[in-house]
Amino acid sequence: MLISLFGAVESGAIYAIMALGVYLSFRVLNFPDLTVDGSFVTGAGITGMLIVNGMSPITATLVGAFAGFIAGCITGILHTKGKINALLAGILMMIALYSINLRFMGQPTVSMLNETTIVNQIQSFWSPAIDSALNSIFIGADRVPTTWAILIIMTIVTLAIKFMLDFFLKTEVGLAIRATGDNQKMIRSLSANTNFLIIIGIGLSNGLVALSGALVAQHGGFANLNMGIGMIVIGLASVIIGEALFGKKTIARVTLAVIGGAIIYRVVITLALRVDFLESSDLKLITAVLVIAALVTPKILQSRREKKRRLAKRAALMERKGREASA
């Protein structure tokens, strides 16, 4: 139990980078971008291939992320220059990437089990003393996590990306990107090239997604052609759960919420799969129910609060009228 929860938080921290990418396209640019299912694999597959062919893991990861950036830019170009509907542009790019990814990978699965990856590089310089120190908090547990290295380093990487994203969205360019998602007509009348901003924004979004894919592949030890299926829904689930639980008042708050949402999503899935009557094939159903719950619950809560408030006002009115009548 403890081990599987620990694993859930660990992979949640890696998937959070993907969720930040989805936040950028879906929320900031208001662009429902389905490229994600393909670009996640692009990052994983290209990085995997390069590592197998002897490239240093960090360079390979960056190349993988850049490939995702290019894929996203092409989706952006299809939408802005080709005037293709956003959803359709993403879907077209997604299926195109399926074939492209297979070309790059050469085979449906690329194994990195015997290669040097970022993950085992992190573990190799990590001091076991930190692990034993941290594991001492789980006094009485019969099994403790083998290493804290991945969790801590990945959390730092994810937070670093979050802070960079926060900063970027407050720069002059970042403001214009946000306005493009909010009111395109207005920002165009303020001399911003919205086409360019959409292309760059969707590119960055998919760059983050591909980076996450590259890290997930190295964490799991393999890249698979189908590992991206449903990724957009997981990203959306993270964004929506995060916003529902942690709020969305400021940019910094939302990006933190998205990371939290990604981790909570993993934890909930892990817990759900431990329930006896649920099978691992029910995963997609659980995801769908989770997203629906995260979308509907805040609305229900709010209308309840409103109703309560109105009832209280009515009661106060009645009381006042009663007092006036008796006076």
Partner 1 sequence: MLNIHDVSLTFNEGTPDEKIALDDINLELQKGEFVTVIGSNGAGKSTLMNVISGSLIPDVGDVLIDDQNVVHLPEYKRSKMVGRVFQDPMAGTAPSMTIEENLAMAYSRDKKRRLVPGVSKKRKDHFRDYLDTLNLGLEDRLNAKVGLLSGGERQALSLLMATFTEPKILLLDEHTAALDPSRAELITKITGDVVSKFGLTTMMVTHNMQQALDLGDRLFMMDKGQIIFDVKGEEKQNLIIKDLLDEFQRIRGEQIASDKAILG
Structure tokens at 184: 């395109």
H or E stretch at 223: strand 222-224
- Residue 172 C-alpha from the chain's centroid: 25
Counting Cα atoms < 13 Å in the Cβ hemisphere of 320 gives 6
Binding mask 167-186 for partner 1 (x = CB under 8 A): xx-xxxxxxx-xx--xx-xx
Binding mask 75-114 for partner 1 (x = CB under 8 A): ----------------------------------------
Structure tokens at 244: 């529902």
Which one of the spans 93-101, 188-196, 211-219, 277-285 is the region binding partner 1 (CB under 8 A)?
188-196
Beta carbon of residue 68, minimum distance to partner 1 (angstroms, whole number) = 21
| Shorter beta-carbon distance to partner 1: residue 69 or 148 | 69
H or E stretch at 197: helix 194-220
Contact 17, 205 (CB under 8 A): no
Look up residue 58 and give its amino acid.
I
Is residue 189 near partner 1 by the rule CB under 8 A?
Answer: yes
Is residue 163 near partner 1 by the rule CB under 8 A?
Answer: no
Is residue 190 near partner 1 by the rule CB under 8 A?
Answer: yes
Beta carbon of residue 191, minimum distance to partner 1 (angstroms, whole number) = 4
The dihedral built from the CA positions of residue 283, 35, 106 and 44, taken in this order, carries a sign that is negative
Gap between the Cα atoms of 144 and 126, Å rounded = 17
How many residues contact partner 1, by CB under 8 A? Answer: 23
| Shorter beta-carbon distance to partner 1: residue 26 or 104 | 26
Tell me which residues touch partner 1 (CB under 8 A). Answer: 167-168, 170-176, 178-179, 182-183, 185-194
